[in-house]
A = this chain, B = another copy of it.
Amino acid sequence: VNPKQIAAEHAVTLIKDGMSVGLGSGTTAAYAIPAVARRIETEGLRLRCVATSKASAHLAHANGIKLSSWDSIETLDITIDGADEIDPEFRIIKGGGGALVREKLVATVTADEVIVVHSAKLTEALGAFPVPVAVVPFGWPSTRRRLAEKFGCEVSIRRDASGDAFTSDDGMHILDMAFGAPLPRLDTIENEIRSVVGVVEVGLFFGLCHHLVVAHSDGSVEVKAAPK
Interface residues of A (CB under 8 A from B): 70-71, 73-74, 101-102, 104-106, 108-109, 136-143, 145-146, 169-171, 191, 194-195, 197-198, 200-201
Contact = CB atoms under 8 A, between A and B. Distances in A.
A105 B136 contact: yes
B194 A195 contact: yes
Nearest to A142: B109
Given A170-B171, A191-B191, A71 B197 contact: no
- Counting every copy of the chain, the complex holds 2
A169 B194 CA distance: 21
A73 B136 CA distance: 16
Nearest to A195: B191
A154 to B, nearest CB: 18
11 contacts: A70-B138, A71-B140, A101-B136, A102-B139, A105-B143, A105-B197, A108-B142, A136-B170, A138-B170, A191-B191, A194-B194
